[in-house]
Structure 1
């Protein structure tokens, strides 16, 4: 009988389980109300008196070993279930982590900022919700000025003097009010115009506008700055300036770059001319300087502005401006390799 108990102890110590069900079957077999250990305790009275001490000690060891084995196996299986519930199947192969990408508008905006930073332009920012003075009046667009009709403005209903800015020129006004010349700044940001959405136009878009105010600033300075920009941004060294009209600059001009006619795409986007319009510019109107408390008899300056979406569409040959705002992952993933 003693040998049987010792054999059972060895069997208990060697037992292994891979599930809670196996552990429960083991517990019932040894520790249940009809289990082996209870049966052996019932046989205790039939053991010879000289062997009872050793038999009782071995029987207690068997019971302790069985209880310890059940507790140990349950704890191990609980930890395994917990890991699986958190991490899933730990044997499955790993998956590559998807990397994000910068939005093409952000990429182009940062490139433009970097080009102008190299020649001393700092970045200035302002509010997207503006008042009439900073968005219109200070820029030589007084009330009832016909050029206001060009802006297609979103006005705030509860306050007719408050609106969504139609250009980042309002940031330049604020900058001139708060800083004395020399001023050399660019103002990137989002602007809003109440226009119909199409492949070439949107009611929300982004601009970068530049401003340089100092003594003896000339149109030649403006031209050289723009030539530098087009060389750095597009790799193009040929530009032309066509007379135009903007209320806040005089004289004003549209800037074209010679894109070339080397491919079928070049013919399509330039309509067979080889020239592409990229921005507007001009010398700051003396009235604007006066409105911003800068003496126009002492200082002069130039300003320019371009649409970031238009530049991005040229650089990446994007045919529809709406693609920038649809958040289509297939479109955005194409820019993963672009810094």
Structure 2
């Protein structure tokens, strides 16, 4: 049986080479990824553990629930949109996850001070290169290539907390649908996509505004409302294909830097509202910068893990990475639309160990980056780390020293862990934390 986690038999020095006392990634000469060398710098924070997930492509692996959901979504768009007997949407599901900051942020109008750019949220290879944080990072390059309707599917990477619903690698489906005037308003030459003040021949001369919550200043209200109606209709159709016609849903106004207006779709799942996707009308500046200046487009993005866990009642996101036949055979050769409820292969107990430490003088309970700690815990402990929770913050009233306490929950998905082996791994994590961040274990 293939193990779900990487045993901690490699030297801690190999792990600690990625950290230094400032809780930022250590600047080393270069990072090797799939035979290619990237010069590292003060932004480098990608870890060996994270790099080990590259190329796994769970969304393309037969019998994986992520692949089943992916295929159901693709089938919906293939059947719903055709042109002269051929699918209107093209599919891109094997794009490299290594992108530039320009692709991931600048091309999408994400401001330089936006919180999604910070090192604590992204896995940077260096200041100019990172592992994509969303599939939308490929939107502009595909638009520049002349595409108008396409799905982008793949793995994305974000630094986050550790629990049963969060993992540093997950999978997204993003889509763009563009339309020209004659497609949007067939047989209605009096209707326009753009306001009279917008010149499609000189689009860069127009300063587009999103001050109006109803539309972008370059678009007519008629064009925006028709695209909104199409977008919501198509996504409600997809939701009903996945969850059934009786599913309750609602739209919530949202904000994304790259769309306006924007919405989130929520479904009523297990007695509470759950967000399943974000969407909106693509900012016209993105279309103009990519080449097309006479179209209007909508876009959306959704996470495959969230959908698969809801559809198949999968309780732990780590199970998506399992190679255990007891898990995979439950999804083997099934009808894509079959109603499948995951049955636990086994139920193994948790082991919980707390870790308390004094921070060095240059750090406080508010400036210490928990995501740096989470990455180090995951690097040492592997995928038997089920959850890490910040349990307590403490400032000594006399010495003014700052202390943090984290609870680390261990659980193997395929066998029972002994407290002795958990204690050994816990000690290795303690040593790594001391060496990396200059803390003192309490």
Q: TM-score per shorter chain, which class? A: 0.5 to 0.7
Q: What is the aligned-residue RMSD (CA, Å)?
A: 2.1
Distance in 1 separating the partners of 2:63 and 2:142 = 29
Specify the alignment match of 1:320 in structure 2: 316
Specify the alignment match of 2:114 in structure 1: 145
Specify the alignment match of 1:282 in structure 2: 280
Distance in 1 separating the partners of 2:279 and 2:321 = 27
Distance in 2 separating the partners of 1:240 and 1:169 = 24
CA shift in 2, pair 1:146/1:196, >3 Å:
closer
Distance in 2 separating the partners of 1:150 and 1:236 = 42
Distance in 1 separating the partners of 2:259 and 2:114 = 15
Instruction: Report how far residue 322 of structure 1 moved.
Output: 1.1
Structure 2 SS opposite 1:201? coil
Determine whether 1:112 maps to 2:73: yes
Specify the alignment match of 2:168 in structure 1: 203
Distance in 2 separating the partners of 1:128 and 1:221 = 30
Determine whether 1:308 maps to 2:308: no
Distance in 1 separating the partners of 2:131 and 2:116 = 17
- For normalisation by structure 2, the TM-score amounts to 0.47
Tell which has more relative contact order, 1 or 2 (C-alpha 8 A, sep 6+): 2
Q: Deviations over 1:115-143 (max 9, x none)?
A: 11112322124221001111110001143
Determine whether 1:219 maps to 2:228: yes
Unaligned runs of 5+ in 1: 1-99, 260-265
Instruction: Report how far residue 101 of structure 1 moved.
Output: 6.0
> Which among 172, 176, 192 is matched to residue 143 of structure 2?
176
CA shift in 2, pair 1:334/1:247, >3 Å:
same
* Structure of higher CA gyration radius: 1
Q: Deviations over 1:63-108 (max 9, x none)?
A: xxxxxxxxxxxxxxxxxxxxxxxxxxxxxxxxxxxxx961111111
Paired residues in the alignment total 222
Instruction: Report how far residue 151 of structure 1 moved.
Output: 8.3
Distance in 1 separating the partners of 2:179 and 2:120 = 29
Q: Deviations over 1:166-202 (max 9, x none)?
A: 111122221101115xx11111111111223320111
Structure 1 SS opposite 2:330? helix
Superposed counterparts of 1:127-276, under 5 Å = 127-149=96-118, 152-157=121-126, 160-179=127-146, 183-215=148-180, 216=223, 218-236=227-245, 238-259=248-269, 266-267=270-271, 270=272, 275-276=273-274
Contact preservation (8 Å) 2:276, 2:307: yes
Higher helix share: 1
Contact preservation (8 Å) 2:124, 2:130: yes
- For normalisation by structure 1, the TM-score amounts to 0.61
